[in-house]
Every structure is written in structure tokens, then in C-alpha cells.
Chain A
Amino acid sequence: KAGVTQTPRYLIKTRGQQVTLSCSPISGHRSVSWYQQTPGQGLQFLFEYFSETQRNKGNFPGRFSGRQFSNSRSEMNVSTLELGDSALYLCASSLLSENTEAFFGQGTRLTVV
């Protein structure tokens, strides 16, 4: 079956712009979580959605937001982009929030210039 699909794979944006990233989880998976990966901070949790509800949120400013649709697809949005938002954004899909494995997409590499 298809894995986790993240689009786009690469993005270049200018400071002050906003960006929307998309994640399509594995079919049947209801939990989607997002992580930011940077060389300096490593992998950091952004937020998790389960059945269209945000169940957990990491320590990121309000410029970072997300949502989940009824088909479990999720989007995250970053407004007023800063240079420090340049990172690899990874989406993880799980059958249930408490399930064992999570399967990750290939990520979206965002560069803010």
C-alpha cells in the first residue's frame, strides 16, 4: 500500500511570506503528527492531529498552525516566514495515536531566503 506522501518535496520562500505543506497519511491511519528537523535543534515535535482534532502541540510560536481533514490528510501552515524556519518538515502517520510504529514521509525541505 502507498506510504506517507508529503508535498511539495522542496520549497523556496522569501521572509515574510507564508507557506502550506501537505501530508497524506497511509490509508486508514488517523493520526498525523508533524516534526521540524534542523541541524541545530534536531527533530522537534510541532503538533499531532487525530480524527481532525489537534491532540498535542509542541513549543512553537503561533505562526505554526495545522489542520486535518476528514480523509485524514493534514496541512501545516507557517505564516510570516523567518530565516530560522528553514528546515526539513516531516510528517508521521499512525493507525492510532498510541500505536507502536509511526511511518514518516520523505519530508518537505523548506528554504527561507
Chain B
Amino acid sequence: AQKITQTQPGMFVQEKEAVTLDCTYDTSDPSYGLFWYKQPSSGEMIFLIYQGSYDQQNATEGRYSLNFQKARKSANLVISASQLGDSAMYFCAMRGYNYGQNFVFGPGTRLSVLP
């Protein structure tokens, strides 16, 4: 079974500062992908960043980077230079690469960016 844990129900960050959202995972799959999605109040899930379990380097996408520590089973999201528009729910998710694997999502972290 796969499980995602996000221990921060809510986070506050000052505009233009960096923030780290925590994510730990548990899986017995040898190969898997880790994802972060952003969900604004409109409801749509917006893909942010992906990290494959065999990727040697941490993934980066613009202001987003994923701090992947495989031995610790953690995949923290780092947002640099926070903007007011970053205020949203953030979900960490994983997906095994076996046949028909679905996403397993964490409970989410609500990020509020303060002006």
C-alpha cells in the first residue's frame, strides 16, 4: 500500500520569501513518481512538479523545486520568492509505475502568502 503524509495543515509565508512544504511517503513499489499539485479555491488541480524515484537530481520548475531524499522517503516542495497568487492548497501525491496505478494524495497543506 502507498501512503502520503503532509504534517503541516497550514503554513504562512511572507511575500517574496521562500517556503518549504513537507511531504513523506511510504511505498513498497520499487519504481514510482512523486508529484506536487496546487489547488486554488476554484478547485482545479494544477500540476507543479514531478520527481521520478530513479532520478538522481532534484527536479526544478521555475520557482518550484523538489527536495527529494529517497532514503528518508521525503519529497519536500520548496517555493522560492513567494507571491500572493501562491496562496492555495498544496497536495503531495505519488503514483507507482505498475499497471493501472492510481494517484495517492496526501491531506494537503494550505499555504497563505502574506503581503
Contact = CB atoms under 8 A, between A and B. Distances in A.
Given A104-B44, A107-B43, A98 B104 contact: no
Contacts of B99: 55, 97-98
Given A42-B105, A42-B108, A43-B105, A97 B43 contact: no
Given A42-B107, A43-B105, A103 B47 contact: yes
A86 interface: no
Contacts of A92: 45, 103
B68 interface: no
Contacts, number: 56
Interface string A33-75: 1010000001101001010000110100000000000000000
A101 B47 contact: yes
Interface of B: 33, 35, 37, 42-47, 50, 52, 91, 95, 97, 99-108
Interface of A: 33, 35, 42-43, 45, 48, 50, 55-56, 58, 88, 90, 92, 97-98, 100-107, 109
